[in-house]
Amino acid sequence: MPAIFDALPGIEVPVGAIAKNLAQLWTDEAVDGGPALETDDAKATQVNFVLHLGLNTTQDDALRQFETVVNFSRRTPSRIVVLCPLHVDVAAPEMRAKIFGECFFGRSKLDKRCVEFVMLSYSRSARPFLENQVSICLSTDLPLYYWAHRFSASGRLADYRYLLSRAKRVLLDSAIAPVDALTYPWPNPSATRDLVYCRLLPVRQSIGQFLSAYTPARLVAGLQGVMVSHDEGLTAEGRVLLAWLRRRLAACGAAVETVALRTERLDSAEANRLAVHFDFNDPTCYFRWSGDVATGQALFEASLGSGTTSLSAAVSLLKPEAALSEALFF
């Protein structure tokens, strides 16, 4: 498999001269002869962010995630380190580096912000030196956030204790992570955030706001079952949505151990769809929600003792960079 490091943008520099070359990004002369960056305020870095591209990452996937982090950094200026492990080990320890910088305007032309990226490619034999190199690349006295993307095994990732234990948030995506990723005994499990749960924020808000019109007692009275339906591409979203509903119904007083909770895969003709259905002892009572995250259209239908309701609504999943913000800061 081609090295993902080679697919990422940037200028290759000696590993021992990363800091020097980063500084030169902003001190070289601009086209008009002036400094390329007029003030240090433009590098108002707020967080350290490490994107760890696992061995299951392809070049195209690496570029997509790189772009996601670029978009995120436009909202939250960051010092970003991208880790790129080599698939094939080499005899001698090998580590390569690239640097990349980007400037952009905020709310006005006077609000100029610049972000810095360091890409590190490393062989397995260079693994013992990685944490030291990462620590040198990070800005001091700023919180660290760590995103582990497409890693092959939880046990292998657990070896990166420096990142896992120091990070304020550890981001995983249960749709593509190993099956035990969310239950694995990480050094700081309370810091773990699932990007699937974060992507579902608009769905959770929409359903929660609709159901808040009913008393908790009404929602759980005679509740027999909850089913979440999903297409094949939204399997993780269906699983996470069902777990969220279970917690919320338990908070409403439902004896969830007596409620049939299940997921169901929709056929291929219903791609991009999620649906929720509550069953009650009383056949005249029901709650149904369905949404197409591609078209952005959703429909609520309910009969919960105060007449029937049918309501069209919008639905979406958070964009990747917005899901990162949700996972990091909330």
> What residue spans define the domains of the chain?
4-194+324-329, 201-314
Q: Note the pLDDT of residue 272.
A: 95
18-32, 157-171, 192-206: least confident range: 18-32
Q: Note the pLDDT of residue 31.
A: 45
Of 285, 284, 289, 281, the closest CA to residue 245 belongs to 289
- Written as one string, the DSSP assignment of 229-262 is EE-GGGHHHHHHHHHHHHHHHHHTT--GGGSEEE
91-95, 202-206, 218-222, 321-325: least confident range: 91-95
Confidence of residue 44 (pLDDT cuts 50, 70, 90): low
Assigned token pair, 223: 């509740």
Give yes or no for a contact between 78 and 65, defined as CB atoms under 8 angstroms apart.
no
**Given the structure tokens 């593509």, which residue do they identify?**
176
* β-sheet with 192-194: strand ranges across: 11-13, 95-105, 112-122, 78-85, 47-53, 144-149, 169-172, 192-194
Confidence of residue 2 (pLDDT cuts 50, 70, 90): low
For the chain, what percent of residues have pLDDT higher than 70? Answer: 92
* Per-residue pLDDT at 111 exceeds 90: no
Rounded to an integer, what is the distance from CA 221 to the centroid of its chain?
Answer: 36
* Per-residue pLDDT at 305 exceeds 90: no
* Per-residue pLDDT at 30 exceeds 50: no
Helices H / strands E in the chain, number of each = 11, 14
A 10 A CB-CB count for 324 gives 27
Q: Note the pLDDT of residue 269.
A: 81
What does pTM read for this prediction?
Answer: 0.92
* Per-residue pLDDT at 32 exceeds 80: no
Q: Note the pLDDT of residue 224.
A: 97
Rounded to an integer, what is the distance from CA 257 to the centroid of its chain?
Answer: 31
Q: Note the pLDDT of residue 37.
A: 53
- Tell me what the mean pLDDT of segment 26-54 comes to: 68
Q: Note the pLDDT of residue 109.
A: 67
* Highest mean pLDDT out of 67-76, 112-121, 232-241: 232-241
Give yes or no for a contact between 145 and 172, defined as CB atoms under 8 angstroms apart.
no
User: For the packed helices 320-329 and 59-75, what is the interaxial angle rounded to 10 degrees?
Assistant: 60
